[in-house]
A = this chain, B = another copy of it.
């Protein structure tokens, strides 16, 4: 099982780094369209009786019928598409009205094929919404200083609003040093401790929220899932998904428990949850018996499992046993086609926000200068 591993350790589906050691195995970020087209349900809590409609995927409908599904499918692919259209419209408007084009810089070191694929995907995604992308590709034996020099240049470049360093870096580099060098104003991954601290604190606002957990919450919002006052369980406590997802749910007034590798009775605790976010990297770990009837499930795991019937020899499954979940839950994200597509959409969203903020700050500074100049003029006139 899981003989092939495809991972994107930077913003796009970095769930493979989850320290859920007792359960963890390989993960995959390949994504294929599976889910049918659904958009936002206005109901605060999704009723279990909602049926699965699929005008575009008869294969999926058949599968759903076979497992007597009553759960609504949370279609991340469709939501991500809708988000990209919204971002694209905003980018055009920004360009037309004030001449600002958001820019994302990606630094890739070495020749890992998977990393090259992720960088290419990000570049394509930027192009599709009109965001400029800047790519630096350094050889595997590049020095840490070279990488730091590029980061420093991008930090100072006003046409760059977000900087991503594609991970993993070659072993001779200090990852923390390099990531810390990215200015917090361009930390579109949202992993800077200052951003995480602000996320944890009431009354503070982070500049950026990490993309994958932000995508999970966005899915809940767009499907009208009420979070306030609900019991939520986050399975996995990684810095990049589990922990920030828990902080986001907490900010929205859920009562949150993080279940992790040292939790003695994960099944019992998870069964109390109205909302489950699983980010572990263990295929089918969350069984039907873990799920409270009517719960809403967001499955972040993307795990390859061997499948001789597939042309590739494997298929992708989530942390949650999808067939069983469909029988118990009110709504569930499929894998692939659930959280996966949301991550890059959120990266684009963070880059757009950064460009808007940079412009607002520039305008603010300009206004202060104009005001100061006016005041100086008034004084002169007196």
A residues neighboring B (CB under 8 Å): 19, 192-204, 228-229, 231, 237-239, 243, 247, 250, 253, 255-260, 262-264, 269
The answer on a CB contact under 8 Å between A204 and B200 is: no
The answer on a CB contact under 8 Å between B247 and A269 is: no
The answer on a CB contact under 8 Å between A243 and B197 is: no
Chain B residues, CB < 8 A from A250 = 237, 258
Known contacts A19-B202, A237-B202; A257/B259 CB under 8 A: no
Q: How many copies does the complex hold?
A: 2
In the bound complex, how far is the Cα of B180 from the Cα of A204, in angstroms?
12
The answer on a CB contact under 8 Å between B247 and A255 is: no
The answer on a CB contact under 8 Å between B198 and A263 is: no
A279 to chain B, nearest CB (A): 13
Chain B residues, CB < 8 A from A204 = 193
In the bound complex, how far is the Cα of B229 from the Cα of A264, in angstroms?
6
The answer on a CB contact under 8 Å between A260 and B264 is: no
> Which residue on B lies nearest to A196, using beta carbons?
B197
A266 to chain B, nearest CB (A): 8
In the bound complex, how far is the Cα of B239 from the Cα of A260, in angstroms?
23
The answer on a CB contact under 8 Å between A257 and B255 is: yes
Chain B residues, CB < 8 A from A195 = 197
> Which residue on B lies nearest to A257, using beta carbons?
B257
The answer on a CB contact under 8 Å between B202 and A193 is: no
Chain B residues, CB < 8 A from A258 = 250, 255-256
A196 to chain B, nearest CB (A): 4
14 contacts between A and B (CB under 8 A): A193-B194, A193-B198, A193-B204, A194-B194, A196-B201, A197-B198, A200-B200, A200-B243, A200-B247, A202-B239, A229-B263, A237-B250, A255-B259, A255-B262
Cross-chain contact of A257 among B228, B253, B256 (Cβ < 8 A): B256
Question: Beyond the given A200-B243, A201-B239, could you list 19 further A-B residue pairs with CB under 8 A, ordered by the A residue number?
Answer: A192-B197, A193-B194, A196-B196, A196-B197, A196-B200, A196-B201, A197-B197, A200-B247, A202-B243, A203-B239, A228-B262, A229-B264, A237-B250, A253-B260, A253-B262, A255-B260, A255-B263, A255-B269, A257-B257
